[in-house]
Structure 1
Amino acid sequence: MAAPRPANRGPKAAPGNRAALIRAARMVFAENGFDVPLSSIARAAGVGQGVLYRHFPTRESIALAVFEENIGEVEAIAADPETTVDHVLEVIVAQLAASAAFVAMLDPTGTDDPRIFDVASRLVDLISRKLEDPDRRGAMRAEVTSSDVVMAVAMLAAILTKTDPSSRADVAGRAWSLLERGLHGDRDAR
């Protein structure tokens, strides 16, 4: 006998369902990649596919919701005036290692959704502001620009999109260490 279906709680369940879908998408994307069937996300959230599509009609829309949460976390860290660009990048690298949706959104060339570009530009602006403040540059070489940092993050994202989720954290750490050397340089040699 099949398990009984949960009772329909109607419109008052919408905010909880949306939050459950975003949590599930973050987890499912991280474990299975960005191209996972959307039904897997609905199942992990404990809702039907109709609920998923009511909140998120496309793959990009649910990935954007995950991306928005990730950017919100980065912005919260960056809001502390003592935070350096290095602290911000630590959070971004950790998110890249954990979330294939975040990785996919950092290279939004496969979509024409302006919302994705808007959210990605918030990240670029945040990095630019930190780099413009000499006290918040962290260990970045003086000639490093926000374009350089974004390129390094995009290179890391490109590597991680082709990395098995089980080894993504290790690869992210190793690859970022290499990229960081280029951004920081050998400060003792100067």
Structure 2
Amino acid sequence: MSTTRSNRGPAAAAQNRAALIRAAAEVFSEQGVDAPLSAIAKRAGVGQASLYRHFRSRGELAFAAFESNLDDLQEIVDRGGSLSDVLTVVAEQLAEISVLIELTASLADDPHLAEFEGRMRGILDAVIDEGRASGTVPADYSTGDIILSIGMLSAAARAGGRDHRRAAIARALELLRIRL
């Protein structure tokens, strides 16, 4: 009896892609954005050729791996959450997955970053508009201001180990909320 896996070909494409995205999020979180792509393919249980069929670049894979973070934020907006709710989740994401900061810095010229940032801006535009309409967001707040605030949270997230990052981010959030 053979113990080798059979090649299921195109029938496994969607499953392979999902496994690669999960593995990339884990491996990038553990080893950073420069983690070997071979480690991601191995963790996903696929060959490197499969990885390259699904993702043409490290940036495409990395941003796909963290797309679920944007999905979480969109879900908050869709259920009527506030700007404060969105910033709280962003802060939690930064504390847990500090590689997101590294990702945007090291892949600054990657075209997938523009797509990622565009989606983030859309999410923020929606929550700011809703907040202005309900009176919970000051009229002079812009999406650029919130992006700047997230940058400040990112700076706090770079500090020290996980516990120190969490404390720094919590304090930065307190300071941001003084005006909200």
Please confirm whether the aligned pair reaches a TM-score higher than 0.5, indicating the same fold.
Answer: yes
Question: Structure 1 residue 8 and structure 2 residue 7: aligned?
Answer: yes
Alignment partner, residue 42 of structure 2: 43
- Give the Cα–Cα distance (whole angstroms) in 1 for the partners of residues 3 and 84 of structure 2: 50
Q: TM-score, normalised by structure 1?
A: 0.78
The amino acid across from 1:8 in the alignment is: N
Unpaired segments ≥5 residues, structure 1: none
Change in CA separation of 1:25 and 1:136 when aligned onto 2, cut-off 3 Å: farther
Unpaired segments ≥5 residues, structure 2: none
- Give the Cα–Cα distance (whole angstroms) in 2 for the partners of residues 44 and 137 of structure 1: 47
Alignment partner, residue 184 of structure 1: 177
Question: Structure 1 residue 79 and structure 2 residue 72: aligned?
Answer: no
1:141 positional shift: 6.2
Question: Structure 1 residue 117 and structure 2 residue 110: aligned?
Answer: no
Moved more, 4-13 or 23-32: 4-13
The amino acid across from 1:116 in the alignment is: L
- Give the Cα–Cα distance (whole angstroms) in 1 for the partners of residues 22 and 58 of structure 2: 15
Change in CA separation of 1:135 and 1:171 when aligned onto 2, cut-off 3 Å: farther
- Give the Cα–Cα distance (whole angstroms) in 2 for the partners of residues 28 and 163 of structure 1: 21
Question: Structure 1 residue 147 and structure 2 residue 144: aligned?
Answer: yes
The amino acid across from 2:24 in the alignment is: A
The amino acid across from 2:22 in the alignment is: R
The amino acid across from 2:8 in the alignment is: R
Deviating beyond 6 angstroms after TM superposition, the runs of 4 or more aligned structure 1 residues are none
1:40 positional shift: 0.9
The amino acid across from 1:63 in the alignment is: A
- Give the Cα–Cα distance (whole angstroms) in 2 for the partners of residues 172 and 9 of structure 1: 44
Change in CA separation of 1:158 and 1:66 when aligned onto 2, cut-off 3 Å: farther
**Is the CA contact (8 Å cut-off) linking 1:34 and 1:100 kept in structure 2?**
no
- Give the Cα–Cα distance (whole angstroms) in 1 for the partners of residues 120 and 135 of structure 2: 16
| Percent sequence identity over aligned pairs | 33
3-state SS of the aligned residue for 1:34? coil
Question: Structure 1 residue 131 and structure 2 residue 143: aligned?
Answer: no
- Give the Cα–Cα distance (whole angstroms) in 2 for the partners of residues 49 and 137 of structure 1: 51
